[in-house]
Amino acid sequence: MAVGLGLGLSRYPFDDVRGYWRWVELCELGGVDSIWQTDRLVSKEPMLECIATMAALAGATRRIRFGMNVASIALRDPLLTAKQLATVDLLSDGRVLPAFGLGSAFSQDYQATGTPTRRRGKRADEALTLISRLWSEEDICFEGEFFNYQNATISPRPVNPHIPLWIGGSSEVAMRRTARFGTGWLGGIDTPEQAGEMVRGIRRELAHTGRSIDDDHYGATFSFRFGRPDDEAAKGTARGLSTRVQNPDRYMVVGNAQDISKRVDEYRQAGCSKFVLLPIARGNSEMMYQTRRFIEEILPEYDGVA
C-alpha cells in the first residue's frame, strides 16, 4: 500500500493571496502528494470554495493533485458538479481527486439556507449515481425521488478514465455508501481506532455489494503542528475540537517529527495509507514554516514506503 501524504486547508489562514500562492508553489516543488480544501459554503471564518479552488490550482501547478475534503454532495447539483469536475480534470490532465460526503446535519450550510436534512442520504445516493454515470456514459436516463434525467450527456468527460470517487463519513451508512459507490474512503475527524472500524466495516459491506476497493484507497485526516501543546494556535485547535469530541489529543498531533510520524503509523496500522494533514498555523510565515518542516522531516520517511 503506497503511502501518499497530502496537505489540506480548512479555514483560509494566509495574510494575503500572495502567501497562498507561495505556499502552493512550496507544496508543488517540495513533493507534497496533494492539496485538499475543506468544503464549507456558509461560514464566518474565511474558507475557500473547494471546486473553484481546484480550478485555480489546475492552472497554477503542473504536478500536484488536488481534492476536496469532502464536498457535501447533498447540497450540490449532480449535473453541474459532474461537469465542473470533468472540466477541471481535463484542464489539469487528470489530477482531480473528488471526494464526497453529506456534511453535518447541524452545519450552517443546511441551517442558514433552510435546506431540509430529511432524506438527504437518499438525495446523496442519487447524486453519486448520476455523477459516476455522467463521467462514463452517454444519454443517461434516470428516474429518482430527487432527480429525473432524460438522455443527459456531458462532454468532454474526465481525461482520467479511472477518475476516483472517494466517499467520506464515519457511520455505518457511510460504510454502505462507500461500498456501493466509492473507489475509496477518506476519513474526516476520526481517531486511528475509529478509522480502523471504518476500514473493516467497508470491507464487510463490499462482500455484500460484490465490488472491490484497492487496499491503498483508504485515507485519514488529522491536524498537526511542529511545536508545543501550549502554543496559542494548538490550544485554539484543541478548544475547537473539544466541542465535538472528548479527547482532542487523539484527533491532532503537536510535537516533533517523531510524534507526527507515530500518528501516521497508527493510522497505517488501522488500514489507511493516504493522508490529508492539516497544518495548525495562522499567517503566511507560520504556514510556510510548518510546511517546510513537513516536507523536510516527514515526507522523506515515507518516500517509497509501501
Asked which of 73-82, 95-104, 129-138, 266-275 is least confident by mean pLDDT, the reply is 95-104
Flag whether pLDDT at 110 surpasses 90.
no
Q: What is the pLDDT of residue 297?
A: 98
Q: Which amino acid is at 110?
A: Y
CB-count burial class (<10 Å; 0-12, 13-18, 19+) for 214: exposed
Grid look-up 498531533 returns 253
d(CA 164, CA 65): 12
Give yes or no for a contact between 190 and 123, defined as CB atoms under 8 angstroms apart.
no
The average confidence (pLDDT) of the chain is: 95
What distance in Å separates the CA atoms of residue 171 and residue 168, rounded to the nearest whole number?
9
What is this structure's pTM?
0.95
Rounded mean pLDDT of 264-291? Answer: 98
pLDDT at res. 106 = 57
**CA–CA separation, 226 and 253 (whole Å):** 8
Residue 18 predicted with pLDDT over 90 = yes
Give yes or no for residue 100 having a pLDDT over 90. Answer: yes
Pair 149, 142: CB distance under 8 Å: yes
- Pairing label, strands 148-152, 140-143: antiparallel
Stretch (H or E) spanning 91? helix 78-91
pLDDT tens string 179-189: 999 999 999 98
> Residue 118 and residue 296: Cα distance in Å, rounded?
47
Confidence at 104, pLDDT banded by 50, 70, 90: low
pLDDT-derived band at 116 (thresholds 50, 70, 90) equals confident
Q: What is the CATH number of domain 4-302?
A: 3.20.20.30
Nearest to 185 by CA among 161, 209, 202: 202
pLDDT digits (tens, 9 = 90+) for 208-264: 999 999 999 999 999 999 999 999 999 999 999 998 888 999 999 999 999 999 999
Whether the CB-CB separation of 34 and 4 falls below 8 Å is answered with yes
Question: By the 8 A CB rule, do 134 and 152 touch?
Answer: yes
Q: Which residues pair with 255 in a beta bridge?
A: 226
List, for residues 217-233, the tens digit of each pLDDT value.
999 999 999 999 999 99
Proportion of the chain above pLDDT 70, given as a percent: 98
Residue by residue, DSSP assigns 186-241 as EEEE--HHHHHHHHHHHHHHHHHHT----TT-EEEEEEEEES-TTSHHHHHHHHHH
